[in-house]
Amino acid sequence: MSLEERARKLLTGKVEFLLSAPALHFLPDAGAPEIAFAGRSNVGKSSLLNALTGRKKLARASVTPGRTQELNYFEAGDPVEIRLVDMPGYGFAKAPVKVVQQWRHLINDYLRGRTTLKRALVLIDSRRGIKDVDREVMKMLDGAAVNYNLVLTKADKIKKSELDATLEAVTAEARKHPAAHPDIHVTSSEKGMGIAKLRTAILAAAEA
């Protein structure tokens, strides 16, 4: 069976919510390899998780951006082969300073101390490109020596010429970061664009 087919069967098979961890001592025991999803609020993280797993409501988008301040764990496989970790959205304008600080501490500690974390996916809205808050998170990942892929979301929402320009700029930015993987994934959760390729990359990273 090809890696792509194994990835499809795994991620669209048995996938269940495990727990929410508001602090490190709530994290599950280290076991299956973990793939973490990071991105600005409203970047389409929940939609991407749902598309990857072939669900409609596995991950629910928060009504208020920045509301979720927990690491949400999902397990795939029976027995479990991969854990998907939905990290709280960043860059929310209305959050109190204390909430932002708590977010930073939680994410920094998780990134630096989680031996089972195999790869992070940093989601970038195709219509917006990389913002300063994205660069901050990329620097956090660089500093923690956590390899990551940049994933463009909502690629169906802009013209091809604009998408090509965004992809070129994001690719150039990735070259400046030591932990950034050269492969940039272009996706649309709504249209299914790039989903199969991203599933395959997730399984490959988990098994590396």
Q: What would the 3-class secondary structure string for the chain be?
A: CCHHHHHHHHHCCCEEEEEEECCHHHCCCCCCCEEEEEEECCCCHHHHHHHHHCCCCCCCCCCCCCCCCCEEEEEECCCCCEEEEECCCECCCCCCHHHHHHHHHHHHHHHHHCCCEEEEEEEEECCCCCCHHHHHHHHHHHHHCCCEEEEEECHHHCCHHHHHHHHHHHHHHHCCCCCECCCCEECECCCCECHHHHHHHHHHHHHC
Q: Which tops the pLDDT comparison, 123 or 102?
A: 123
Q: Please give the mean pLDDT across all residues of the chain.
A: 91
* CA dihedral of 93, 105, 174, 205, whole degrees rounded to 10: -120
Cα 136 vs. chain centroid, distance in angstroms? Answer: 15
What is the arithmetic mean of pLDDT over 63-70? 57
Handedness of CA 158, 160, 162, 165 (dihedral sign): positive
What is the arithmetic mean of pLDDT over 177-184? 96
Look at residue 179 and tell me whether its pLDDT is greater than 80. Answer: yes
pLDDT band at residue 64, thresholds of 50, 70 and 90? very low
pLDDT of residue 94: 64
pLDDT of residue 9: 98
Q: Give the model confidence (pLDDT) of 131-177 as tens digits.
A: 998 999 999 999 999 999 999 999 999 999 999 999 999 999 999 99
Lowest mean pLDDT, pick from 85-99, 159-173, 179-193: 85-99
Q: pTM here?
A: 0.93
Structural domains in the chain, sorted by start: 3-207 (3.40.50.300)
Do the Cβ atoms of 123 and 188 come closer than 8 Å? no
Look at residue 63 and tell me whether its pLDDT is greater than 50. Answer: no
Q: Give the model confidence (pLDDT) of 72-91 as tens digits.
A: 999 999 999 999 999 988 86
